[in-house]
Amino acid sequence: MKSQKTLFMTTKIEFNDLNIRAKKYRSEIKKLIDKVIDSNYCLNGPENRKLEKNLLHFLKNGFITTVSSGHDAIFLTLKSLKLNKEDEVIFPVNSNPTAFPIAQTGVTLIPCDVDKNGLIDPKEILKKLSKNTRAIVVTHLYGLVCDVDKIKEIIGDKNTFLIEDCAQAFGSQYKNKSVGTLGDFGCFSFYPTKNLGTLGDGGAIWIKNKDFYNYICLAKYYGEKKRYYSRFISGHSRIPEIQAGILNIYFKNIKQELNSRIQLAKYFYKKINEEKLNNYIVPLDNNYLSPLHLFVIKAKKRNKLIKYLKSKGIPTLIHYPYPIHLIPAFSYLGYKSKDFLIAERLAKNILSLPFHPMITKKQVDYIFTIIHKFYY
Ligand SMILES: Cc1ncc(COP(=O)(O)O)c(C=O)c1O
């Protein structure tokens, strides 16, 4: 019998650490703002260069450029491939934010079903591959890592680019290499809630090939090399200096934070066992012991569990409740229910629990006590 004491939480449980982290670094952030004011650079200044250096040091090899967001990172990557509308891009049907920038480039969208962990399924890629496939975008969803070697094997020597959407996977490793550096391009997001997230928008692209890097560096500034003498039509895409500076501050502690995510996930697995929840909730397989961005479980009676947790002050989210073929924006693709069985089944069963380096053990204990109470 658990004591009543453990069933109350005095501190509010946050789904993520967005405001907690910013408060922790408040005084450094204030100093940074002063520094940026004095520097006369709002955009494209020393903080961006420092961030690119930090990122390159972390990711190794290749080239890095900062852009406005993870969305732009994918969009500009595809723009650099200069694709036409008959060109096909394969991507996982369950990663909503991945689909939008691909659709905005005007290429032919080829959504693909996923495996039981919500990651693009190489067997399904094989079925979707055609002579028009120009790129495969793999999303390392939740921080889990896709079966990259298998996907590379499928690509073989075809003229098909491998793009990694690492928006949710900053810090995940695959066979001792950082995700984002395993293919031709790695797209990162610094959206506030991400493993490395700022207090606004931000993104970056890791690029293997210098020619593509040179192109993207122009594409993010109106296609300009010489000021006001654009070589091609493009928009702009940049991280404000203050946001880049905040990321540089957070970078100092990033290894510890990523490690806390790894340790925290282990603690979650332990609690699932301790509370005898294995027959009710199943966490997705974290084969590479990644610093997860989201702790996602498949849960029996998922919707009732969500309500119960909410009533006990435990916030949860679903990432994502609808695979893209079932949302109105993508109805033009002509797919219907049951076209992507695994993704559809997952959407009905998955649930993301509060998970971030600032959560306390006491809070985690409370969460699992409450889940236990729900099922028993
Ligand atoms: C998997 C994935 N891809 C792309 C994005 C887009 O990133 P951003 O919000 O920085 O544009 C996100 C962020 O929500 C994401 O989770």
Q: What is the CATH number of the domain that holds 286?
A: 3.90.1150.10
167 and 300 both lie in a single domain:
no
- Whole-number Å distance, alpha carbon 95 to ligand 1 midpoint, is 9
**Tens digits of pLDDT across the chain (376 residues):** 444 445 667 688 999 988 888 999 999 999 999 999 999 999 999 999 999 999 999 999 999 999 999 999 999 999 999 999 999 999 999 999 999 999 999 999 999 999 999 999 999 999 999 999 999 999 999 999 999 999 999 999 889 999 999 999 999 999 999 999 999 999 999 999 999 999 999 999 999 999 999 999 999 999 999 999 999 999 999 999 999 999 999 999 999 999 999 999 999 999 999 999 999 999 999 988 899 999 999 999 999 999 999 999 999 999 999 999 999 999 999 999 999 999 999 999 999 999 999 999 999 999 999 999 999 9
Q: Could you tell me if residue 5 is inside a domain?
A: no
Which atom of ligand 1 is nearest the CA belonging to 74?
4
238 and 304 both lie in a single domain:
no
Which atom of ligand 1 is nearest the CA belonging to 71?
11
229 and 115 both lie in a single domain:
yes
Substitution candidate for ligand 1 out of 76, 100, 168, 188 with most atoms within 8 A of CB: 168
140 and 287 both lie in a single domain:
no
84 and 224 both lie in a single domain:
yes
- Whole-number Å distance, alpha carbon 69 to ligand 1 midpoint, is 8
- Whole-number Å distance, alpha carbon 12 to ligand 1 midpoint, is 26
pLDDT in tens, 237-249: 999 999 999 999 9
Q: Could you tell me if residue 6 is inside a domain?
A: no
At 1 the pLDDT is 45
Look at residues 251, 269, 290 and tell me which one is the last residue of a structural domain. Answer: 251
Look at residues 251, 275, 307 and tell me which one is the last residue of a structural domain. Answer: 251
**Quick one: 4 exposed, middle or buried, by C-beta within 10 A (0-12, 13-18, 19+)?**
exposed
CA-based nearest residue to 144, from 118, 111, 125 = 118
313 and 212 both lie in a single domain:
no
125 and 175 both lie in a single domain:
yes
Q: Could you tell me if residue 150 is inside a domain?
A: yes
- Whole-number Å distance, alpha carbon 287 to ligand 1 midpoint, is 23
Nearest-angstrom CA–CA distance, 7 and 366: 6
Which structure tokens are listed for 3?
């004591």
205 C-beta neighbours (distance < 10 Å), count:
31
Residues with CB under 6 A from ligand 1: 69-71, 95, 97-98, 139, 165, 167-168, 189, 191, 201, 203
**Quick one: 333 exposed, middle or buried, by C-beta within 10 A (0-12, 13-18, 19+)?**
middle
Which atom of ligand 1 is nearest the CA belonging to 191?
10
Q: Could you tell me if residue 351 is inside a domain?
A: yes
Look at residues 221, 251, 281 and tell me which one is the last residue of a structural domain. Answer: 251
- Whole-number Å distance, alpha carbon 139 to ligand 1 midpoint, is 10
CA-based nearest residue to 144, from 113, 120, 176 = 120
- Whole-number Å distance, alpha carbon 70 to ligand 1 midpoint, is 5
Q: Could you tell me if residue 84 is inside a domain?
A: yes
Which structure tokens are listed for 62?
């290749």
Nearest-angstrom CA–CA distance, 315 and 306: 8
At 7 the pLDDT is 63
99 and 155 both lie in a single domain:
yes
262 and 334 both lie in a single domain:
yes
Q: By residue range, what is the domain housing residue 326?
A: 254-375
Nearest-angstrom CA–CA distance, 201 and 324: 23
Which structure tokens are listed for 165?
């959407």
CATH number at residue 33: 3.40.640.10
286 and 216 both lie in a single domain:
no
CA-based nearest residue to 342, from 29, 10, 63, 92 = 92
- Whole-number Å distance, alpha carbon 316 to ligand 1 midpoint, is 19
Domain count, the chain: 2
Substitution candidate for ligand 1 out of 67, 71, 141, 201 with most atoms within 8 A of CB: 71
195's CB contacts (< 8 A; 6+ apart) are 143, 168, 169, 170, 171, 257, 258, 261, 291, 293
Question: Is the Cβ–Cβ distance between 166 and 180 less than 8 Å?
Answer: yes
Q: Could you tell me if residue 358 is inside a domain?
A: yes
Nearest-angstrom CA–CA distance, 169 and 58: 13
Question: Is the Cβ–Cβ distance between 80 and 219 less than 8 Å?
Answer: yes
107 and 235 both lie in a single domain:
yes
Q: Could you tell me if residue 182 is inside a domain?
A: yes
211 and 76 both lie in a single domain:
yes
Whole-model pTM: value is 0.96
The 3-class secondary structure across the chain, one letter per residue, is: CCCHHHHCCCCCCCCCCHHHHHHHCHHHHHHHHHHHHHHCCCECCHHHHHHHHHHHHHHCCCEEEEECCHHHHHHHHHHHCCCCCCCEEEEECCCHHHHHHHHHCCCEEEEECECCCCCECHHHHHHHCCCCEEEEEEECHHHCCCCHHHHHHHHCCCCCEEEEECCCCCCCEECCEECCCCCCEEEEECCCCCCCCCCCCCEEEEECCHHHHHHHHHHCECCCCCCCCCCCCCCECCCEHHHHHHHHHHHCCHHHHHHHHHHHHHHHHHHHHHCCCCCCEEECCCCCCCCCCCEEEEECCHHHHHHHHHHCCCCCECCCCCCHHHCHHHHHHCCCCCCCHHHHHHHHHEEEECCCCCCCHHHHHHHHHHHHHHHC
Question: Cα–Cα distances in Å, from 239 out to 17, 220, 245?
Answer: 21, 11, 10
Substitution candidate for ligand 1 out of 137, 146, 189 with most atoms within 8 A of CB: 189
Q: Could you tell me if residue 294 is inside a domain?
A: yes
